[in-house]
Chains A and B, each alone.
Chain A
Amino acid sequence: MPETTLLAAKTPATGVFAFTRPTSWQVIAILIALLVVIPVVVIFSAWGKSETDILRHMAEFVLPELLSNTFWLLLGVGLGVTFLGVSLAWLTAMCDFPGRGFFSWALLLPLAIPAYVLAFVVIGLLDFTGPLQTALREAFGPLKLPQIRSRGGVILVMSLALYPYVYLIARNAFMTQGRTALEAAQSLGVNRWQGFFRVALPMARPWIAAGVMLALMETLADFGTVAIFNYDTFTTAIYKAWFSLFSLSAASQLASILIVFVLVLVLAEQHSRSNMKYGTVGRSVSHRRIVLSRKQGWLAAIYTGGVFSIAFLIPMVQLLIWAFDAAATDLDARYWAFVRHSLWLSGLGAFIVTLLALLLGYAGRQQPGHSMLLIQRIATIGYAIPGAVLAVGIFIPVAWLDNQLIDWLKPHGWQGTALLKGTLLVMLLAYAVRFLAVGFGSVDAGLQRITRSIDEAARVMGSHTWSLLSRIHLPMLRASLFTAAALSFVDIMKEMPITLMTRPFGWDTLAVRVFEMTSEGEWERAALPSVAIVLAGLLPVIFLASRGDKQ
């Protein structure tokens, strides 16, 4: 066919790898994407120069345990978040029971508590010396209770901390597409409970899968929780390789294995997202929620209330009690230094993230096309890469650059041994990579709302690139930029492994303080910095909840 050959001949010129001269916007986007690509390449290239004895030691003693620990953790948390997230989403979206209105947004609140905070509170409460076991022993004598510091314990804590990812997205799916489809199923003789399994659940599958993948990415990226439980996974192993064995190449090799896990999850997530566009059915007409019987209603209320209490209410109360006790001694100048450092770093990081997100979004607008979409995708993939991996992947090239600079400067009389290594550069770059997706999401959504015809109207009236940006786009984007900054601010404040591994001397933050206190088992003293982190974390959750109400 002549047409097909013509098409085939044309493809290389218009395809992704076209060798036309890139425009300046493409260059900017590619540079941003390189921030993600370089660390990944660096980590994989560590296989070239292996320190054989450390590697052999790891392969023999460490790797099998890491792999099995990671496998069971992913499986357990995957099942846990699916069950909690889907059941809670279905109940609050489709059924009526006492307290439904309150729980439908309150169930998002656990998002504000980082998993590592929930972890030490749960351990503090349920450990052998904790109040619950002590009370039980006093009442019933010596008992044999399951250990909280166990694989089951980690899975429980992570499931409780991460189920909102599934809950949020599944609830959205049920609310937008379950209704007409469920009615159609009913008109075909299927009752509503059967309809859940035959229609609503299979239809929501892409959403649920995407939510579970996100939760699993967080599981892989987690450092603080597993550190508190002494449950060795790749992130803790990377940390130990770097700071105990002083082997960056061992750390990189571990990181590269972790990245393979991550990439599988990313592909699975992208696949489910691509399935979503077929999943919507109809508009939501006026509808009634399923009216549960009295008994069913109370059971639903007890279940949702129970999850809410265990995941948020009880930990919060305990946290506040401990923080209050510790405040007497710990609320000193050092504490305020932690707060100051946290605010500074989060602010600076949020600014960089927002700026990069704006540039990347703007590049996509000025130079749309398949290649730009691909570049944007790569540039925002950092949300999936664990902080411990990024820390290693960015430290190595920066250290290399540092050495080059020093070699170059030495003949000119430079005396120092580090130029970039001791600065905030590594940490800020790692933050930018990890949280660019958060910022880009809201900036891009804002940009989408500015239609082509608005641009064209402004152009017709003589507004060009920069005046278009300052007079039309920035004012219209103000809310999105603020959202982007606020969300990344909070994420950076909660962030633990990057901060811990790459902070310059003297830059201890709240999260670092939590890590130090928990590694000594001082739950009360870890509570005080945690409260500040949780309070900051409440902001985006309230934002999410209010947006959910409007929909």
Chain B
Amino acid sequence: MSDLKLVRISQSYGPRQIIDDLTFHLQEGHIGCLLGPSGCGKTTVLRCIAGFEPITAGHIEIGGDVVSSPARLTPPEKRQIGMVFQDYALFPHLNVAGNIAFGLGKHDASHKNQRVEELLSLTGLLDSASKFPHQLSGGQQQRVALARALAPKPHMLLMDEPFSNLDVELRERLSLEVRDILKREGMTALIVTHDQNEAFGIADIVGVMHQGAIQQWDTPYNLYHQPANRFVADFIGQGVFLPGMVMNNSMVEIELGVLHGMIPTDCDATGCDQCAHDCYVDVLIRPDDIVHDDESLLMAEVENKAFRGAEFLYTLKLPSGTRALSLVPSHHDHAIGERIGIKLAVDHVVAYRRLS
């Protein structure tokens, strides 16, 4: 197993910059995830690590060895990286055992068989060893792809949207299974996905990507509660920005009251002296930051509602006319147009300089 280091890498197709000065470090044995909307360049990063694409600046290290730099490109087959492709790319002319054994180059037959056996049992495919890919379900194909990638004991594993071809239920179950398998093997792995639930479910650490750059490389908890910038705040979870005014370096006032806590990530003066009274900010309010309370004097009109089973997601119209979201337990069923009492329950203040 090895760690993975990307240092200030860039890549472009002609004039189009696909990856722009991107850096991160994935520690040995960790599962990392690149999360971003389609077209953000995340798959290209993966293909650069695998060696299918050259880079134009920076370098990539696996286990301390430089494998990619503008001057040098170790070919994919020499990198000892396992890869699970989005469509699995199983070899249709080989059966399950044959697919898994494919990468086990020059070992003798008994050693090969033993390794194949190990992986079949690790992935729960012992009964399917002699089946061909087209005879397997989507979930089974996915596990064969994983087993095939792990078989040669690679330095690390790359997975490109590994669950996107599966239906939702299977997706959740399999991602847990895969995490379990990777952890048992102590494998360093990097996954690419556009689905944050998937990312949060499987990864130790997540990099949110936008326009070819990493916006934040952090744990799922921090991405949600302490987003590093507006893009991350917007992309991860739900929520709205409410206009607010900084009062001092621990207080910001919004329409619904005064919030206490460390202020503005983005308000450049840490002490916030010079902006004491006229620094306008946008404060991120998540649906769980607004709590329904019949006692409260603060009222808002229900403009829309979506039933989620355990709770309702209400779109509320505040007195000023701005809108906010609120998650309310589902036994509080209010009609559209009704006015309900609300109060704030904000743990972390997340605010950015007002966009003029």
Binding site for B on A (CB under 8 A): 180-181, 183-191, 198-199, 202-203, 205, 277-283
Minimum CB–CB distance from A24 to chain B (whole Å) comes to 38
Q: Would you list 30 pairs from A and B whose C-beta atoms are within 8 A, ordered by A residue? A: A180-B85, A183-B50, A183-B52, A183-B76, A183-B85, A184-B83, A184-B148, A185-B91, A186-B52, A186-B77, A187-B83, A188-B102, A188-B149, A188-B151, A188-B152, A189-B77, A189-B78, A189-B80, A190-B77, A198-B102, A203-B91, A205-B93, A278-B134, A281-B87, A281-B90, A281-B91, A282-B85, A282-B86, A282-B87, A282-B88
Q: Residues of A contacting B75 with CB < 8 Å?
A: 186, 191
B82 interface residue, CB < 8 Å from A?
A: yes
Q: How far, in angstroms, from A183 to B88 measured CA to CA in the complex?
A: 11
A187 near B76 with CB under 8 A, answer yes
Contact of B40 with A by CB under 8 A: no
Q: Does B132 contact A (CB under 8 A)?
A: yes
B89 touches A186 (CB 8 A): no
Alpha-carbon distance A445/B132, docked complex (angstroms): 30
In the complex, chain B residues whose CB is within 8 Å of the CB of A185: 91, 102
Which 4 A-B residue pairings sit nearest by Cβ, starting from the closest?
A188-B103, A187-B83, A282-B87, A184-B89
Q: Specify which of A181, A184, A190, A199 lies most central, judged by the most chain B CB atoms within 10 Å of its CB.
A: A184
Residue of B50, B91, B134 with highest tally of chain A CB at under 10 A = B91
User: Is B152 a contact partner of A189 (Cβ separation < 8 A)?
Assistant: yes
Given contacts A184-B148, A189-B78, 7 further A-B pairs with CB under 8 A are A187-B82, A187-B158, A188-B103, A191-B75, A198-B102, A281-B89, A282-B89
Is residue B207 within 8 Å, beta carbon to beta carbon, of the partner chain? no
Tell me if A279 and B76 are in contact (CB < 8 A). no
Residues in A with CB closer than 8 Å to B134 are 277-278
Q: Choose among A180, A183, A187 the residue that contacts B149 (Cβ–Cβ < 8 A).
A: A187
Per the bound structure, the CA–CA distance linking A262 and B144 in Å amounts to: 41
Q: Are B92 and A281 closer than 8 Å at their CB atoms?
A: yes
Separation of A279 and B91 alpha carbons in the complex (Å): 8
Q: Name the A residues within 8 Å of B87 (CB-CB).
A: 180, 281-283
- Which of A186, A191, A203, A282 contacts B93 (CB under 8 A)? A203
Do residues B103 and A190 form an inter-chain contact, with CB atoms below 8 A? yes
Q: Collect the chain B residues with CB atoms within 8 Å of residue A189's CB.
A: 77-78, 80, 103, 105, 152
List chain B residues, Cβ under 8 A from A184: 83, 85, 89-91, 148
**How far in angstroms is the closest Cβ of chain B from A148?**
40
Whether a CB of chain A sits under 8 angstroms from the CB of B81 is: yes
Interface residue? B244 (CB, 8 A) = no
Residues of B within 8 A of A278 (CB): 92, 132-134
Contacts of B133 in A (CB 8 A): 278
Q: Closest CB-CB distance, A179 to chain B, in whole Å? A: 9
Contact between A199 and B77, CB atoms less than 8 A apart: no
What is the CA–CA distance of A188 and B98 in the complex, to the nearest angstrom?
13
B28–chain A nearest beta-carbon distance, Å: 20
Chain A contacts for B148, CB-based, 8 A: 184, 188
**What residues of A have a CB within 8 angstroms of the CB of B50 in the complex?**
183, 187
CB closest chain-A residue, reference B158? A187
Contact A187 B93, beta carbon cutoff 8 Å: no
Nearest to A202 among chain B residues (CB) is B93
Tell me how far the C-beta of B298 lies from the nearest C-beta in chain A, rounded to whole angstroms.
Answer: 52
Chain B positions within 8 Å of A, measured between CB atoms, are 50-52, 75-78, 80-83, 85-93, 102-103, 105, 132-134, 148-149, 151-152, 158
> Measured between C-beta atoms, what is the minimum distance from A7 to chain B in Å?
22
In the docked arrangement, what's the CA distance between A185 and B85, Å?
Answer: 11
How far is B91's CA from A280's CA once the two chains are assembled, in angstroms?
9
How many whole Å from B257's CB to the nearest CB in chain A? 51
Distance (whole angstroms) from the CB of A288 to the closest CB of chain B = 8
Asked whether, in the complex, the Cβ of B89 is within 8 Å of the Cβ of A180, the reply is yes
Closest B residue to A186 by CB, please name it. Answer: B76
A205 CA to B93 CA, complexed, in Å = 9
Residue of A nearest to B87 (CB): A282
Q: Would you give the shortest CB distance from B352 to chain A, in whole angstroms?
A: 35
> With the chains together, A202 CA to B98 CA distance in Å?
13
For A188, the closest partner residue in chain B by CB is B103
**Shortest Cβ distance from residue B4 to the other chain A in the assembled complex, whole angstroms:** 15
Contact A199 to B85, CB < 8 A, known contacts A187-B149, A189-B80, A191-B75:
no
Chain B contacts for A190, CB-based, 8 A: 77, 102-103
Give CA–CA (A279, B90) in the complex, Å.
Answer: 10
In whole angstroms, what is the CA distance A191 to B79 when docked?
11
Tell me, in angstroms, the Cα distance from A186 to B102 when the chains sit together. 11
CA distance A190 to B78 in the complex (A): 8
B224 CB to closest chain A CB (Å) equals: 32
Q: In angstroms, how far is the closest chain B Cβ from the Cβ of A308? A: 31
A180 to chain B, nearest CB (A): 4
Flag if A183 contacts B89 (CB, 8 Å): yes
Q: In the docked arrangement, what's the CA distance between A189 and B74, Å?
A: 12
- Residues of the B chain whose Cβ atoms lie less than 8 Å from the Cβ of A183: 50, 52, 76, 83, 85, 89
Residues of A contacting B91 with CB < 8 Å?
181, 184-185, 199, 202-203, 281
Minimum CB–CB distance for A289 against chain B, Å: 13
CB-nearest residue of chain A relative to B80? A189
Q: Inside 8 A of B158's CB, which chain A residues have their CB?
A: 187
Instruction: Tell me the complex Cα distance, A50–B134, Å.
Output: 51
**Distance, CA A299 to CA B77, complexed state (A):** 26
Q: Which one of B76, B80, B90 has the highest number of Cβ atoms from chain A below 10 Å of its Cβ? A: B76
Chain B neighbourhood of A199, CB < 8 A: 91
B88: chain A residues at CB < 8 Å are 282
Smallest beta-carbon distance A185→chain B, Å: 7
Q: For A186, A189, A205, which residue has the most chain B Cβ atoms within 10 angstroms?
A: A189
User: Complex formed: what's the CA distance from A279 to B132 in Å?
Assistant: 11
* Minimum CB–CB distance for A500 against chain B, Å: 44
Q: Which residues of A contact B89 (CB under 8 A)?
A: 180-181, 183-184, 281-282
In the bound complex, CA of A506 to CA of B296 (Å) = 105
Bound state CA distance, A180 and B132, in angstroms?
A: 18
**B79: min CB distance to chain A, Å:** 8
From known contacts A278-B132, A278-B134, infer whether A187 and B81 are also in contact, taking CB-CB under 8 Å: yes
Residues of A within 8 A of B149 (CB): 187-188
CA distance A278 to B87 in the complex (A): 14
Are A203's CB and B77's CB within 8 A? no
Q: Return B41 CB to nearest CB of chain A, in Å.
A: 12
Nearest CB to that of B134 among chain A residues? A278
A178 CB, min distance to chain B CBs, angstroms: 11
Q: How far is the CA of A116 from the CA of B230 in the complex (A)?
A: 73
CB distance from A182 to the nearest CB of B (A): 9
Q: Which residues of A contact B103 (CB under 8 A)?
A: 188-190
**Smallest Cβ distance from B24 to chain A, in angstroms?**
21
Closest Cβ–Cβ distance, residue B345 to chain A (whole Å) = 46
Whole-angstrom distance from the CB of A547 to the nearest CB of chain B?
Answer: 25
Which A residues lie within 8 Å of B52 (CB)? 183, 186
Expressed in whole angstroms, the minimum distance between the Cβ of A237 and any Cβ of chain B is 40
A279 to B, closest residue via Cβ: B92
Give the residues in chain B near A279, CB-CB below 8 Å. 92-93
Docked CA distance A203–B78 (Å) = 24
Residues of A within 8 A of B85 (CB): 180, 183-184, 282
Contacts of B51 in A (CB 8 A): 186
A185 to B76, CA, bound (A): 9
Residue numbers in B under 8 Å from A191 (CB-CB): 75, 77
Residue of B nearest to A185 (CB): B102
CB distance from A364 to the nearest CB of B (A): 26
In the complex, which residue of chain A has the Cβ closest to the Cβ of B149?
A187
With both chains docked as a complex, state the minimum distance between the C-beta of A422 and any C-beta of chain B, in angstroms.
55
